[in-house]
Structure 1
Amino acid sequence: MGKRCPGWLILAVAFAACAGDADAPGSRTVASVLEEAHSAATEIIRDAGGQFSVGAFLARQNAELLVPQLAAVAAATDGKAVSDLNDVQQSFLNGTLNAADDMQRSERYPRKKATAMLAQADALLSTLTATYRFPRVLDFSPRYVVAPAVPTVLDLTVSGHALDASGPELSLQGKQCEVRGITEAQLTFHCELPGVPETHALAYATLTLVTRPPRPWWAFAVDWMRSDDAPVHYTLALALIPRTVGGFDAMARVNTGDAGLEASVPLPVGDVAWGGTRDITLPEGSIFVTLHGRQADGRVYEDTSSEAAPHPWYATTIDMRSRRMVIRARALDEALAQP
């Protein structure tokens, strides 16, 4: 793959100067641009998949949505050079690559950048004769759920363009969902999410959507001349959030009353549910307490009876006089909204 130069997508002169003896911008193939965008999407799926934030969920999931759309553009522009596209199409093609590349280089996964990737590809598909009715998924909800302990009913909504094909199908973890509604812009499904064993790590459930390009009204007249359109597959990842904010353990330093002797006493704390409260009574004679917390995203914090600052997902109050320690966890949506 040739050297990429900042600005080639906009300024042909700048690209030529940077590329040296490389081919002129007009002779570059659409396929090579799509290959770079696909590579960026693949890296986003890999890197964002291990991060614990709404932005990371969205980045991974939108990169997964982008992959079949890039394949559709590739099929519709097979053998074409960038210069064969009109100015509007070139702008959307370049925008798709820029947005994917920008998202791939990001560390915090801003939601606007994740949305921009799909918006540019969606616009490009709508300008190509072969794909303007290609089923384009731009959003689905929910994007994340708390991992259920037992099988749980889940209603899923898929939004986009040209989704009103006959017989769209969605499966969750390999189990078929019930279709509840079909329109051009939205599909709704009734699914069952299997129970998930207790875990303190982020996981993903697999959603598989199969649909077909909608057929024009006149298609019945030429059915005998044409084969059915190939199904379009979207493989999506539903983020499964651990059922608790994290795990906690504490140690109290206690005055035993024997000539000033002190002892360390472990305190049972355990996990704290999202939006939950854990109230712990400190041992008689406690003079100092240390609490260690490991959030579900891996971040570790320490609170003591002399210093207990609020943390992104929970806050601790330690009152030695009343011998009381209280851990108050944020609700899930509130916690994920924190930086």
Structure 2
Amino acid sequence: MKAISYSRYGGPEVLEYGEVREPTVGPDTVLVEVRAAAVNPVDWKCRQGYLQGALDAVFPVVPGWDVSGVVLRPGPAVTEFAAGDEVIGYVREDFLSRGTFAERVAAPVRTLARKPRNLSFAEAAGLPLTGLTAYQVLNRALAVKRGETVLVHAAAGGVGSFAVQLARHTGARVIGTASPPHHDYVRSLGGEPVEYGEGLAERVRGLAPEGVDAAFDTVGGDTLKVSANLLTQGGRLASIADPEVVAYGGRYCFVRPDADDLLRLTELAEQGVLSVHVSEVFPLERAAEAHRLSQTGRTRGKIVVTVSRETDTPLPT
């Protein structure tokens, strides 16, 4: 089958489009025909070797953890899905090798949920990783409640845009950092935008003089100190970007696959609570361009690669 892969760590130039071996469908896996896969910052960080201490790489590595597609064949122990079902998944294992930038992927059943009926395959592919991250941080690490004020950093990005929508659905007030060109987008999600950078603390205090009840950091570095200083007495801080958050009394969070959480996101999308903004779409063979764009850190919403249904290789039997 056709896929994107890399055989060594490096920049986008190490990504190659070509033939790789067919995935093996184990007892607890589901063979999915990939229609779309989202690009996340973790994808290029893995490609460059930044996660070597956490995830072993079995080369060649097919990148990508987000997927939307159609079930071709469930494994013999799988009862949750049948051939023809439309699914989404956060297909992360504890090593790098069998990713979603391919015509087909064998996804562990624990990583999948049904696809939202009201989303296109491209939109649905942008939901799992970033949606799960926002959902798990807000509900578990920060335990956001109705009536609280929440500060969300990079509120126009993939994780941030979902965090704004989910926190607003909970009944919280949301202040979101973003560059001025993205302020209207943050407002459309239900947030109150503020420009990040020097003077951020004063701008947030202007909107919330008594501080914020919870802060969701997606940036790291100096943002942590600013966020900690903006918390009310008993306020909570969580970061997905910087383990140093624990020095400020906060929690460092790494998203995990969870079929129940993913199904909840599907339901929220179908209820109109969550929308997915896709900023750019690339065909699979141009995945290197998608990685380059992701590395700029200037995108709004999600970057997605799509896979043609007219494959050059036969479907497995």
TM-score, normalization by structure 2: 0.23
| Bigger Rg, which one | 1
Between the two structures, name the one with larger relative contact order (CA 8 Å, sep ≥ 6). 2
TM-score, normalization by structure 1: 0.22
